[in-house]
Amino acid sequence: MVDEFFKRYPTPKDCVSADSDGMYKLLKPLGLVNKRIKTLKRFSDEYLNKDWSTPKELYGCGKYADDAWHIFCKGDWRNVEPSDHALNNYHEFLRTIF
């Protein structure tokens, strides 16, 4: 399902301009499909058009997304205190090697 989603909507622009009916059929098995479509479209629009500096400023993103972005994308893991167990494991691993 994820592969198919990214084949159909490879960029945020594609997601924003996507036909909601097509997204509905693809995402329906996940449940809460109308909410997911709204979130994907609004997030993609803000990603493209909002002046943001961290993911927590974007619709639908919380602490996990923000922490993951700082750790994996920015390499700023030293200034993050994750609360997710998997991020904590990786964070602790980084502390042991650096």
Total number of domains in the chain = 2
CA distance 98 to 96: 6
Looking at 29, 50, 71, the residue that finishes a domain is 50
Domain around 42? 1-50
What is the full per-residue pLDDT of the chain (98 aa) written as tens digits?
Answer: 789 999 999 999 999 999 999 999 999 999 999 999 999 999 999 999 999 999 999 999 999 999 999 999 999 999 999 999 999 999 999 999 99
In a shared domain, residues 58 and 46: no
pLDDT of residue 2: 85
> pTM of the full predicted structure?
0.84
Active site (catalytic) residues = 84
CA angle 39, 8, 25 (to 5 degrees): 65
DSSP string, 2-25: HHHHHHH--SHHHHHTS-HHHHHH
Residues 40 and 61 in one domain: no
Residue pair 71/82 in contact by the 8 Å Cβ criterion: yes
Query: Looking at the structure, do residues 8 and 37 belong to the same domain, yes or no?
Result: yes
